[in-house]
């Protein structure tokens, strides 16, 4: 936004330098996208080339953190190097990565990062060259990025999950409304018939207990306090028990040599995969018996969810967002693991997530 006297925020900042006019002209005219960031990775200034490349205004760029401009796997690589830069072990680095545009599409760019200044005046210079455009100009075919399709599926799955949660919350609200009406009737009938009122209160109490259990289950799906406080093995065993009791099925849980201290991202990844895989099995397999195993061996932790039900074609199932297989795959990739799916029609399904635990 222009300031008094027609000066922009960038104009004011560059007046502190030795040759502000030259710097400002180079910054604005450069065909390569340039941003100045603080040591926390937040853009302070962005030139017109970068804003045009990504489709964001400079004000919108300043409202974001640098990791928000790329898919998680690319952002992790970048941030690991950025932290080395902040620590002083390196003063520059370069890598190719993908960048989100404002419309959600992805472009591939070459990012060059340098640290300039000293003491409390240090800044990060980030330069981005659009490789997608460069390769297209050179006549190279630009293949659609599969990550765009995967991202779209993940977003659809998130929206479907939110819709399911909204339906459940609406059902709980309806139940609470009916409960409130029943309690009003009990109060009105109290003087007429104490026995009748007691029956109504008992029924209301049972409804409250059921609602508490259902809301607790919904809360655990969103965030498991047991996972955070007691660890993966305890949280997984508790979840299997809850599913068995609620769905009236048999879920055999086995845990072998799993360390109590597991990195938070690994624990959360495996717990979410367990939730999705077991729910899929109970809902779709037709089986009444399930097996869940957590095992640690040779530096890896394995999560195995097995049923003896209908089975399916894994290749076709990957095209069905409702099963969440894509999100499971993407989750396990973020912790450098693998997801294996083995299924045959009428012979059951086994889903195995394997994650290395070198950091433990």
Give pLDDT tens digits for 291-315. 999 999 889 999 999 999 988 887 7
- Per the listing, tokens 């799955």 go with 157
Average pLDDT, the chain: 78
CB atoms within 10 A of CB 315: 8
* Assigned CATH class of 31-143: alpha beta
**Under a CB-based contact definition with an 8 Å cutoff, are residues 75 and 21 in contact?**
no
CATH entry 3.30.565.10 includes domain 225-360 = yes
Q: Quick one: tokens of 315?
A: 């290749």
Q: Is the pLDDT of residue 181 over 80?
A: no
Taking each helix axis from N to C end, the angle separating 194-222 and 146-189, rounded to the nearest 10 degrees, works out to 170
Question: What tens digit of pLDDT does each residue of 23-62 get?
Answer: 667 778 788 899 999 888 999 999 999 999 999 999 888 8
Segment among 63-77, 86-100, 153-167 with least mean pLDDT: 153-167
User: What integer pLDDT is reported at residue 217 of this predicted model?
Assistant: 59
CA distance 292 to 307: 9
Instruction: Label residue 240 by pLDDT band (50, 70, 90).
Output: very high
Segment among 95-99, 175-179, 318-322, 336-340 with least mean pLDDT: 318-322
Q: Kindly state the average pLDDT of the residues 135-143.
A: 51
Q: Quick one: tokens of 259?
A: 């360390």
Strand order in the sheet with 289-297: 250-256, 289-297, 300-307, 348-356, 338-344
CB atoms within 10 A of CB 211: 15
Q: Quick one: tokens of 339?
A: 């997801």
pTM for the complete prediction?
Answer: 0.45
Q: Quick one: tokens of 285?
A: 């397999």
């Amino acid at each position: 936004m222009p300031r008094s006297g027609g000066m922009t925020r960038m104009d004011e900042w560059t007046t502190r330098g030795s040759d502000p006019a030259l710097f400002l002209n180079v910054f604005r005219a450069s065909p390569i996208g340039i941003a100045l960031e603080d040591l926390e990775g937040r853009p302070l200034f962005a030139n017109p080339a970068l804003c045009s490349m990504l489709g964001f205004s400079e004000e919108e760029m300043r409202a974001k953190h640098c990791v928000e401009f790329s898919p998680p796997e690319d952002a992790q690589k970048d941030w690991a190097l950025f932290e080395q830069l902040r620590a002083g072990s390196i003063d520059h680095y370069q890598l190719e990565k993908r960048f989100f545009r404002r419309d959600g599409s992805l472009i591939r760019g070459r990012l060059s990062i340098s640290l300039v200044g000293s003491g409390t005046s240090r800044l990060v210079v980030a330069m981005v060259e659009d490789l997608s455009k460069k390769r297209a100009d050179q006549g190279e075919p630009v293949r659609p990025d599969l990550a765009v399709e995967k991202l779209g599926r993940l977003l659809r799955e998130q929206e479907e999950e939110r819709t399911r949660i909204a339906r459940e919350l609406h059902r709980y609200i309806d139940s609470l409304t009916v409960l409130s009406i029943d309690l009003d009737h009990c109060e009105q009938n109290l003087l007429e018939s104490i026995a009748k009122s007691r029956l109504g209160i008992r029924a209301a109490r049972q409804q409250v207990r059921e609602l508490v259990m259902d809301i607790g289950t919904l809360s655990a799906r969103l965030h498991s306090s047991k996972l955070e406080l007691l660890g993966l093995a305890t949280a997984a065993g508790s979840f299997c028990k809850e599913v068995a009791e609620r769905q009236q099925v048999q879920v055999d849980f086995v845990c072998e040599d799993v360390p109590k201290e597991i990195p938070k991202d690994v624990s959360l990844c495996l717990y979410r995969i367990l939730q999705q895989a077991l729910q899929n099995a109970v809902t779709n397999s037709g089986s009444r018996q399930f097996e869940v195993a957590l095992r640690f061996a040779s530096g890896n932790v394995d999560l195995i969810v097995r049923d003896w039900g209908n089975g399916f074609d894994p290749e076709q199932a990957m095209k069905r967002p409702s099963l969440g297989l894509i999100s499971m795959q993407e989750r396990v990739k973020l912790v450098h693991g693998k997801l294996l799916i083995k299924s045959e029609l009428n012979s059951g399904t086994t889903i195995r997530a394997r994650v290395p635990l070198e950091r433990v």
